[in-house]
Amino acid sequence: MNRTYISYMKRALTMARKGIGRTAPNPSVGCVIVKDGKIIAEGWHKKAGGPHAEIHALQQAGEAARGADVYVTLEPCCHTGKTPPCSSALIAAGVKRVVAAMADPNPLVSGGGLLALRQAGIEIHCGMLETEARAINRAFIKHVSTGRPHVTYKCAMTLDGKIASVTGESRWISCEASRKYVHRLRTQCDAIIVGVDTIITDDPQLTVRHVRGKSPLRVIIDSTLRTPMSVQVLSTTLAKKTLIATVETDPSMHLRYQQSGATILVCKELNGKVDLMDMLKQLGARGIQSVLLEGGSRLAGEALRQGLIDECLFFYAPKVIGSDGFSPFVITGITSMEKSFSFSQIGVRQIGSDIVISARPENTCLQD
């Protein structure tokens, strides 16, 4: 591939990244328009319901778009949703060529956009920097393919793999730079999920504070509705963006939470607790594409056991607690290495004084 052409797509990818965490249930898309070897316009999808990346770029280019090349990180859409088809807009603008990083996995598009452009006489190329493009929209791809959100599990631990001391103390294991990074992750996710024990023990706000950006939906898994009304996520304005997943069906028990502004999500029951798969399906049906699973260890262990985690982020701090501390996953019954959970696609980086390891469980449940 020509290096100059690749640089145009890299710029489109940079534009697309601006939309991560802002566009659900739509994908994050970037677009640049090139003419006579120069970028004359660029755009990105800023929020669901608003103009798509191609439209922003075409509006910026105006009449200069005629005869130009368009680099876009995802196949232009060919259906009418909240906005008209981008493929039709590109055809009307008279562009010469469209280079897409990847085809759209959405069944409503799925090659139809590229076909419409080709039938209109526009030169088509697809697949440039596809791996990078898929990474940007991994949550969208997971959501549109399975109906469930992409799940990232995050935990901070000591070098000997403990997330809290024997007394339950965990503040602060990770360094300030890592905490800031996690808050940036929160801005890129549609929801944060924690178990009720984490709420009772830590009373977290589950908001974005150290960086600029929106706070995601807060989801508390509370099978029997024992979350105290005094916790921060219910006793302040935060309640309006808090959802409690439960198996309790008694409307009278729902009422006090609903009066605070929180939402009750009744889920199927599995072994007396919230069926995590059903909960994720219901979140997906609400347009939630990406979730950050932050605790606790029993919840994480069950999610890993069921193959519901797509990626793990382990923040290792240069500290040691010893054998009395708590582990990140409560999983029992593993008596040999053959029964252990395996991970792949390992990544290692340093943030402040912490070492961060990213890894993907190999037992991830891709299908229902």
Catalytic residues: 54
Say which amino acid occupies 94. G
Please name which of 85, 68, 67, 84 lies closest in space to residue 76, comparing C-alpha atoms. Answer: 85
Q: Which two tokens stand for residue 188?
A: 């890129």
Note the Cα 358 to chain centre separation in Å.
15
Q: Are 185 and 155 in contact (CB under 8 A)?
A: no
DSSP 3-state of 41: strand
H or E element that contains 312 = strand 311-317
* CA distance from start to end of the chain: 38
Short-list 198, 189, 236, 182, CA closest to 216: 189
Residue type, 193: I
Residue 75 DSSP symbol: P
Q: How far is Cα 71 from Cα 85, in angstroms, rounded to an integer?
A: 17
- Angle between helix axes 112-119 and 86-93 (nearest 10 degrees) is 20
C-alpha span between 159 and 41 (Å, rounded) = 48
Dihedral sign, Cα of residue 253, residue 254, residue 255, residue 259:
positive
CA distance linking residue 41 with residue 37, whole number of Å: 12
Torsion angle, alpha carbons of 315, 319, 321, 326, to 10: 0
Q: Are 252 and 224 in contact (CB under 8 A)?
A: no
Partnered with residue 273 across adjacent β-strands are 270
